[in-house]
Structure 1
Amino acid sequence: MKRLWFSFLFFLLVLPGLTVQAQSKKKSSGGGGSGSSGYSTGIGLRGGGYSSGLTVKHFLSGKNGVALEALLTTEYRAKGARLTLLGEKHKSLADVQGLQFYYGAGFHAGSYQGRYYFDDGRYYRGRKDKDDYFRNRVYLTDETTYLAIGADLILGLEYKLEDLPFVVGVDYKPFFEVFNGYTGFYNDAAVSLRFTF
C-alpha cells in the first residue's frame, strides 16, 4: 500500500511540470493539441469492470496521432493496485469533429494482498434450470502480497467536447495476467473522463 501512495504522490509532484510544459508548447506552436485530437494532455478518471482509477494520456509531438496513456488503477474488491502503460494510435472519424477511434497495446504490473476468488459451477440432476443449478463463489484469503504482471490491448472511442476542456471516452481493454502462479485472460471495459490542456 505504501508503494501506491508513493506512486500517487510522485504523480501529483510531476503534474505541475507537465502542465507548464504543455502550455509552453501550445504557445510556441500557435495551436492546441497534437494532430486532430484537439488536445495535448488529458488527466482524469477511468471507471470500469476490472480496473478503476486515474488515467493520464499525452500525445507525442507531431501530427501522427500517437499517444502514451498511463493508468493507475485498483480492482473491484482487491487490496492492491496496478500501473498500466499503453501506446495508442488515434484516427479521426469522418464527418464528426472531435470523435476519434484508437487502438494500442502495452503492459502492466501491480501487487495484491492475497485475495482472489473463482467460480465453481455445478449442475444437479443434469438440467440447467434455475432451480437445479447451483453456483458457488469460493473465496481464498491470506495476508501475503503478490506481484501481478501482464500484457494489455486496448480499443476505444473518445470525443473531445467542443467548447469545454474535457474528453469523454469508452474503451475495451482485454488483458492477460500472471498472478501467484495463476494465469488468466480478462475482459475489461470502462468509461473515462479527462480534463484536457
Structure 2
Amino acid sequence: MKRISSLLLVVVLLCSTTLASAQSKKKSSGGGSSSGYSTGIGLRGGGYSSGLTIKHFLSGKNGVALEALVTTEYKARGARLTLLGEKHKAISDVKGLQFYYGAGFHLGAYQGRYYFDDVRYYRYHKKDSYVVYRRYVADDATYVAFGADLILGLEYKMEDLPFVVGVDYKPYFEVFNGYTGFYNDAAVSLRFTF
C-alpha cells in the first residue's frame, strides 16, 4: 500500500508541474479550448471505482482532450491507471454544458483475489431439505489487469467558479489473471480548472 501511495504522490507532482506549464502557456497565448478551460484536476467517485482524474485539452478549439484516471476498486488492494482520448461537443442551449465520448485503455495491479470457488447442493435422505455449501477463497498473490475502455459523459463548467462537474458512464473490457470480463462503471467527477 505504501508503494501505491508513493506512486500517486509522484503522479500528482508530475502532473502539477505539467499543469503549471500548461497554465503559463495558456496565459501567454490567450488560447484554450471551447470548453472554457484548458486543464482540470480533481476527484472521480463511482459505483465501482474511485480516484484521481486529470483532463487536459489539446491546443486549438477542436474539443479533443486527454484524460488520465488513477483509481482503485473499493474492495481491491491495488490501483489502475486509465488513459482516455475524448471528443467534446458543446450543447448550444446551455452555456458551459458539454457532451463527450471517447476510448482508451487501462493497466492495473491488485493484491489478493476474493471469490466463491465452489457451490454445491446436497440432498439428505430423500427429503425435501437441501444444504448449500460455498467455499470462500482469498489469496495474497499480485495480479496484473489490463483492458480497453469506452467513455460517454456530460460535464458542466461553472461560469463564475473554476470548477467542472461531470457525470460519465465508462464500460470496459478487462483481462485479469487469465479471465476476461466486461464491466460497467459510472461516476461523478469534480475538477478544479486552470
Q: Which moved more, 1:94-103 or 1:14-23?
A: 14-23
CA distances 1:163-186 after superposition (whole Å, capped 9, x unpaired):
000000000000001111111100
Deviations 1:99-142 (A, max 9, x none): 000000000010111223369999xxxxxxxxxxxx99874310
CA shift in 2, pair 1:106/1:62, >3 Å: same
Give identity over the alignment, percent: 79
Aligned to 2:74: 76
For residues 1-47 of structure 1, the C-alpha deviation after alignment (integer angstroms, 9 at most, x for no partner) is 3542332122232133223212212221225x31x100011000000
For residues 54-93 of structure 1, what are the structure 2 equivalents within 5 Å? 54-93=52-91
CA change 1:88–1:120 in 2 (3 A) is farther
Over the aligned positions, Cα root-mean-square deviation in angstroms equals 2.4
Instruction: List alignment gaps of at least 5 residues for structure 2.
Output: 121-131
Provide closer, same or farther for how the CA distance between residues 139 and 42 of structure 1 changes in structure 2, counting only shifts above 3 A: farther
Distance 1:69 1:119, change over 3 A: farther
1:194–1:118 Cα change, 3 Å: farther
Give the match for residue 17 of structure 1: 17
The 1-side partners of 2:112 and 2:104 are apart by: 25
User: Quick one: which amino acid aligns to residue 153 of structure 2?
Assistant: G
- Structure 1-normalised TM-score? 0.85
**Distance in 1 between residues matched to 2:29 and 2:18, nearest whole Å:** 16
Larger radius of gyration: 2
Q: Report the AA paired with residue 192 of structure 2.
A: F
Give the number of equivalent residue pairs.
185
Q: Alignment partner for residue 185 of structure 1, among 177, 182, 185?
A: 182
| TM-score normalised per structure 2 | 0.87
Unaligned 5+ runs, structure 1: 123-134
2: CA distance, partners of 1:119 / 1:103: 37
